[in-house]
Structure 1
Amino acid sequence: MTPTYPVTIPFRTGRAAEGPLIWGQLAIWNVLRWLPPDDTTLNLLVEVPVPPGRDLPAVLDALRTLVERHDSLHTVYLDGPLQRVLPEGEVPLAVHELGDRGLTEAAAELGEALRVGWFDMAADLPLRAAVLVRDGVPQTVLLAASHMAVDGWSFAIVRGDLANLLADPPVVVEPRQQPVERGEYERSAVGQRRAAKALQYWEKHLATIPPSMIGSIRDGRPPNLDWGLIQSPALALAVNDLAARHGVPPATALLGATALQLAAYTGEGEAALRTIVSTRFRPASRGVVAAFNQNALFRLPVTGGLSAPSGGETVGQLLRRSADAALTAYAHCEYDPRDLDAMFVDVAARRGITPDGYCFFNDTRYTLADRSTMPEALPQAELAERIQAALPATKLRSPVIDRLPMHSNFFMFLMDLGDTAELMLCVEHGFLGRRGPLGFLAGLEGLVVRAALDDQVTTGALYAAAR
């Protein structure tokens, strides 16, 4: 007889709450409202293996505890905009018997099917779950969530919590700050002072940033985006070595290199990139599970001293300035995004700019270890040998992507910096001229590889070569 399985995860917390959206939620609320109806491209998916010895009731109990632990997983989002935390209900669940199917293949297929379903923010709970079993024994758990409920970093917390709950014995940690509680901080005098300081920073810089970094080139037309993807072991080797040698995080090294090349491609003496930041700066907020990302403004002059006999600063100096600029940006990224949008409309009107053409850099990796592991530098001869051997493995292609990044001329996604650097770039058609996103990505690989292999090269030489 075919076994029957439950189709929901019932939960009951006794906690009912309602309040305004927090700043990070407002940021993604605006994006989701801007996207076409029923768009699901921003839904997220994670997979959590089930350790041996855990039966289905234990897995379902872990899922129930997980949902009850984080308010954002049982919250609906209403016009206002408001968040309403439901004290009880049921999260959709599917249990799939694998039979003879391979786990990896089935998880990929079933996970994508779980992810692409639309969430009605006002009516549906923002989480769906699936358990894959073989002969009734749980193998892995799939979780799909609306971006309204989680960002990448939050989903990593959720995944880690579920892994703890699936352990034998389960590891249960007290819940951290919930989104409604975070809202109380944002409305406090301290939170409002922090927001005011951030907006002053943005207004000061938006008044003088080159128009090519922030202004629309569409003349009112809908977005017309070109996409490129690079997968490069050589780029990964070069970025990680530069980071190790100069004491900066690998993503920061890549951010600095991207800024240098973007400035060169646009003929500017600086670059300004809007980065996506997990705003977990206070102890209370480090465990918040919510849409909690906000935008920071990273501004980096790159051509200072180019006319000097030396041809400008060293790569190490550029990367250390990049780290300083990133920290400054992070210190000014907590604010109500509606206030920023209104302020930029005023600034753009004074400057004669159409405000819809930012340049973005988004580190989308949401395995916590991806961001916290610092690489080790290699001996120069070994590095050169390994990069030369890896270069033929570089893959460049133009994927067909059904996504519409909001307010952007240029949007770089960092997806992997482990053994292979994987970057995806979309640009408004014509923004990078004839070279387009594939030209930019190939050029970025060349720039970073040269910077890693030639310890005498200057930023001036790299800028000139990119022009």
Structure 2
Amino acid sequence: MTRITVPFKADPPDGEAVEELSWGQREIWTAMVRQEWWLPIGYARAVPPGTTVEDLADEVRYMMSRYPTLRTTLRYDPDGRTRQVVAGAGEIEVELVDAADDEDPERVADQVRQRYWDGDYDLVHGWPIWVAVIRHRGAPTHLVTVMSHLVLDAFGGIVMLEEVAARPAEPTAMPPAEQVRWQASPAGQRQNAAALRYWEKVLRAVPARRFPHRHEPRAPRHWEGRFRSPAAHLALRVLAARTKVDASPLLLATFAIAMARHTGINPVVVQVVVNNRFRPGLARSMSPLSQTGVCAIDLAGLSVDDAVRLTARQAIAAYKHAYYNPSDVDDLVARLARERGEELDLACFFNDRRIEVRTQAPTPPPAPSEVYAALPRSTFEWTRRRDTSFERMFAHIEDVPDAMAITVAGDTHYMSPDDLEAVVRGMEAVAVEAALDPAATTGVHRS
């Protein structure tokens, strides 16, 4: 195996820093521990013809110098806390992988990406990033970059790619160590206290359970499936035009209605993944900032249109209060569970991770006949089964044009495979019913 060593130094210059994990880092770290996986993020990117290994080494040097999270390792202290150590300088090894003359270099690049994806990170002694240059007949064709989710989230990855291309002179966002200092400040503590008050108010007023009963778990226990619905995509365009509500809360509303119909539990309580980059100083941050906000949506006796508008209001409140110390929320949930004398189950998640589709210009709504005609094109397939855990229920909205695209993952002890499939097909049913009938109701009744 051939490697080259790339030295780097923080730019702007900075010495070693030791801090607590930021709120966003804590959130993703606990998810990584809970799910027993590094939750890697990365890509295999084709490079322009004529690019040299030296060009790509310079790009890696720029990334390591500019972004403190790439120079971050973890330290487990005797007090039981995990802290981040940000280096001021260092070296990183870049793997050089030569595709055979008769091999497709894109395929080789994806194989390397998958090898890194499945690898075992050492976040104490090694950098949280793995890099390889793929060469074909002596010339670089691809740069493979895979990072632990502790380094960045999807929106941060977009920032990194844009800045690597543009090379702005000055830092454009608050780095994690500075975020930690702000979070400990009076302003940060006021934000945290407001979030805790909101969470407590919501959680005191909702049923403890998200799922109606337990099942005999399968082996492997945790299943993931993929649903694609062109009909639901068309139906959501009809609903968006009629309700004047954005697609993200529309999707959340259809998920909530489908959950309530299938489980019989209302209000629906769901943790919504929130990209906190709308906050001051964080718009161009590369580091992980996504946290969950809690929504409690009472759907009883509503039309679908009214449920959509209610969900949009609830989502705004959740977004506002999705920046907090995760340890404090964990303590709050544990205290409320003791007071209620039962587990408070919050393991139901919704994540709209669309990027490109979100930014597309709105188009005129289709005719009802188009929605109905698209129904036979819906597809569902199981894609993964594993013993390491997913959350009990997690619906991811994917960046796929011309379809409502959902990855659904769950713990079969709480949501059987039939339950998981029923919920995403139920989302399609809600959207199509409401598109064809403006008076359609949620079908949810008060307990």
TM-score (norm 2): 0.88
User: Which moves more between the two structures, 245-254 or 17-26?
Assistant: 245-254
1:302-341 deviations in Å (ceiling 9; x for gaps): 11xx2xxxxx43x333222222111110111111111111
> Out of 144, 147, 156, which is 2:146 matched to?
144
SS of equivalent residue, structure 2 residue 195: helix
Relative to structure 1, the CA distance from residue 272 to residue 35 in structure 2 (aligned partners, 3 Å threshold; closer, same or farther) is: closer
Cα distance change on mapping 1:160 and 1:214 into 2, 3 Å: farther
Aligned residues of 2:212 and 2:263 also touching (Cα < 8 A): no
Q: How does 1:4-83 map to 2 (within 5 A)?
A: 6-13=3-10, 14-15=13-14, 16-36=16-36, 39-40=37-38, 42-79=39-76, 80-83=81-84
User: 1-side partners of 2:415 and 2:90: how far apart?
Assistant: 50
Q: Which residue is equivalent to 1:392?
A: 376
1:116 aligned residue: 118
Letter of the 2:139 counterpart: V
Q: Which residue of 2 aligns with 1:299?
A: 296
Structure 1 residues 374 and 77, CA gap change in structure 2 (3 angstroms)? farther
Could you tell me which amino acid in structure 1 is paired with residue 162 of structure 2?
A: G
Map of 1:168 onto structure 2: none
Q: Name the amino acid aligned to 1:57.
A: E
Counterpart AA for 1:369: E
Matching residue of 1:457? 440
Aligned partner letter, 1:394: S
| Shift, 1:226, TM fit | 4.2
Q: For residue 412 of structure 1, report the CA deviation from its aligned partner.
A: 1.2
Give percent identity, aligned residues only: 27
1:231 shift after superposition: 2.2
* C-alpha contact (below 8 Å) 2:209/2:345 kept by paired residues: no
**Match for residue 367 of structure 2?**
380
Q: Go from structure 1 to structure 2 and tell me whether the alpha carbon gap of 1:237 and 1:135 turns closer, same or farther (over 3 Å shift).
A: farther
Q: Distance in 2 between matches of 1:153 and 1:120?
A: 24
Q: Which range moves more in the overlay, 139-148 or 50-59?
A: 50-59
Using the alignment, how far apart are the partners of 2:232 and 2:6 within structure 1?
A: 44
1:401 equivalent among 366, 376, 385: 385
Q: Offset of 1:6 from its aligned partner?
A: 4.6
> Which of 206, 210, 214 pairs up with 1:209?
206
SS at match of 1:416: coil
Q: How does 1:214-233 map to 2 (within 5 A)?
A: 224-233=221-230
Query: Matches of 1:245 and 1:376 in 2, distance apart?
Result: 13
Q: 2:430 aligns with which of 433, 443, 447?
A: 447
Question: Shift of the alpha carbon at 1:157?
Answer: 1.6
Local SS of the residue matching 2:173: coil
What amino acid maps onto 1:358 in structure 2?
A
- Listed one character per residue, the Cα deviations across residues 136-161 of structure 1 (whole Å, up to 9, x for unaligned) are 33333221001111122212222222
The answer to whether structure 1 residue 350 and structure 2 residue 351 are counterparts is: no
Match of 1:161 among 148, 160, 163: 163
1:272 counterpart residue number: 269
1:24-48 deviation digits (Å, cap 9, x = unpaired): 1111222233344xx34x1112233
Q: Quick one: structure 1 residues 21 and 430, their matched pair in 2 at CA, closer, same or farther if it must change by over 3 Å?
A: closer
| Superposition deviation, residue 51 in structure 1 | 3.3
> Deviations 1:354-390 (Å, cap 9, x if unpaired)?
144521112234xx43433353232425xx32x3443
| Aligned equivalent of 1:371 | 358
Give the Cα separation in 2 of the matches to 1:348 and 1:177: 36
Deviation for aligned residue 1:103: 4.2
Report SS of the residue matched to 2:383. coil
Aligned residues of 1:5 and 1:95 also touching (Cα < 8 A):
yes
Structure 1 residues 161 and 214 mapped into 2: Cα distance closer, same or farther (>3 Å)?
Answer: farther
What do you get for the CA RMSD once the two structures are aligned? 2.9
CA distance in 2, matches of 1:357, 1:394: 30
Query: Structure 1 residues 300 and 164 mapped into 2: Cα distance closer, same or farther (>3 Å)?
Result: same
Query: Gaps (5+ residues) in structure 2?
Result: none
Checking the alignment, whether the CA contact within 8 Å between 2:220 and 2:387 is kept in structure 1 is no
Partner of 1:427: 410
SS in 1 for 2:385: coil
Cα distance change of structure 1 residues 30 and 7 upon mapping to structure 2, 3 Å threshold: same
Indicate how the Cα distance of structure 1 residues 129 and 411 shifts in structure 2: closer, same or farther if over 3 A, else same: same
Q: 1:332 maps to which residue?
A: 321
> 2-side partners of 1:241 and 1:11: how far apart?
52
> 2: distance between equivalents of 1:214 and 1:431?
6
Residue 64 (structure 1) shift: 1.0
Equivalence map 1:90-101=2 (5 Å) = 90-98=91-99, 99-101=101-103
Secondary structure at the aligned position of 2:209 is classed as helix
Q: Cα distance, 1:196 vs. partner? A: 0.2
Q: Distance in 2 between matches of 1:321 and 1:405?
A: 32
**Cα gap change, 1:136/1:191 in structure 2, threshold over 3 Å: closer, same or farther?**
same
Give the aligned partner of residue 395 of structure 2. 412
Name the count of aligned residue pairs.
437
Q: 1:148-186 CA deviation, whole Å, 9 max, x = no partner?
A: 111222122222223435xxxxx6553421110111110
- Closer, same or farther in 2 for the Cα pair 1:302/1:355, shift >3 Å? closer
Following the alignment from structure 1 to structure 2, what is the Cα–Cα distance between the partners of residues 215 and 389? 34
Equivalent position amino acid for 1:180 in 2: A
Distance 1:107 1:236 in 2: 33
Quickly say closer, same or farther: Cα 1:456–1:204, change in 2 above 3 A: closer
Q: Distance in 1 between the 2:6 and 2:404 partners?
A: 38
State how far apart, in whole Å, the 1-side matches of 2:319 and 2:41 are.
Answer: 24
Label 1:430 to 1:101 Cα distance change in 2 as closer, same or farther (>3 A).
Answer: same
Equivalent residues of 2:271, 2:346 under 8 A apart: no
Query: How far off its partner does 1:417 sit?
Result: 4.2
Q: For residue 423 of structure 2, what is the amino acid of its counterpart?
A: F
CA contact (8 A) 1:296 1:332 kept: yes
SS at match of 1:283: coil
Alignment deviations for residues 243-270 of structure 1 (CA, whole Å, 9 cap, x no partner): 3443333222111100111112221332
Post-superposition shift, 1:132? 2.5
Residue 9 to residue 452, structure 1, CA distance change in 2 (3 Å): farther
Q: TM-score, normalised by structure 1?
A: 0.85
- Structure 1 residues 133 and 434 mapped into 2: Cα distance closer, same or farther (>3 Å)? closer
- SS of 2:286's equivalent in the other structure is coil
1:398 counterpart SS class: strand
